[in-house]
Amino acid sequence: MLLNVIMLFQEGHMDIYNLPTYLELLIRFSFNLMVTLVLVRWLYYGNTKRKDYLFSYIIIGTVVFLLCFLLESVKLQLGFALGLFAIFGIIRYRTRQIPIKEMTYLFLVIGVSVINALTSKEVNYLEVLLANIIVVIITYGLEKVWLLKHETSKIIIYENIDLIKSENREKLIEDIQERTGISQINKIEIGKINFLRDTANLRVYYFAKDDVVNAADDDAIADISGMGDDDD
């Protein structure tokens, strides 16, 4: 159905540029919302079950699209789009750090919204459709096919710092697996070490049995990051 409408545009039976502004806005917004929902509701939320970021992505995508579309007549298309990427690229929420994957989906939502809103007469609508399809297919391939095994991490405050020495790495892995019940640990990163309390911050990487991300560790990362500020 969507391809039939696009073909009508290309054959000249329908010209989206000569449609009333409100109708053009409705068509573009509906298409952008559909692509955004496929990316964040089906692909992202289907793997992570994170409702907090799902809400943010849909709202940000909607606002960015409307800003770009309504300000298109200002003739600041390229500069405005780059400015949006720069602004959101330096965003840092003080309550918690945003994981890399979530920042990537934020970039996807902003990019797709800008592309769909700032399409000009020089751009073929089949090209816009193809660009959106490419984004969805690549994201699907990474989420559902290539990266089928989801590697997650867990933050641990570990008290037996004698085992963090390189020669005791096997004993460290065995001890953490026995305590946490994790069947196989892929990697352990050692962070801040507190010799006064005989503790060390460890990040343990392992393959999750399901695709649900452990959201509680985001708060743990923020808490551990703030521990250094309290000591100053």
Residues 168-195: pLDDT tens digits?
999 999 999 999 888 889 899 999 999 9
Residue with tokens 């449609």: 19
* Segments of the chain with pLDDT less than 50: 1-3, 5-6, 8-10, 12-14, 16, 93-95, 221-232
Q: Where are the beta strands (DSSP E) in the chain?
A: 151-158, 185-194, 199-207
Residue 14 confidence (pLDDT):
47
* Residues whose CB falls within 8 Å of the CB of residue 60, separated by 6 or more in sequence, listed in order: 88, 106, 109, 110
- Can you list the pairs that 51-54 forms with residues at least 24 positions away whose Cβ atoms lie under 8 Å? 53/102, 53/105
Residue 112 confidence (pLDDT):
93
Residue 93 confidence (pLDDT):
47
124-144 per-position pLDDT tens digit: 788 889 999 999 999 999 887
Minimal CA–CA distance to 231: which of 176, 184, 189, 194? 194
Residue 230 confidence (pLDDT):
43
Residue 231 confidence (pLDDT):
43
Residue with tokens 């780059």: 82
Residue 87 confidence (pLDDT):
63
Instruction: Report the predicted TM-score, pTM, of the whole model to 2 decimal places.
Output: 0.66
Residue 39 confidence (pLDDT):
93
Specify the DSSP class assigned to residue 163.
Answer: G
Amino acid in position 131: A
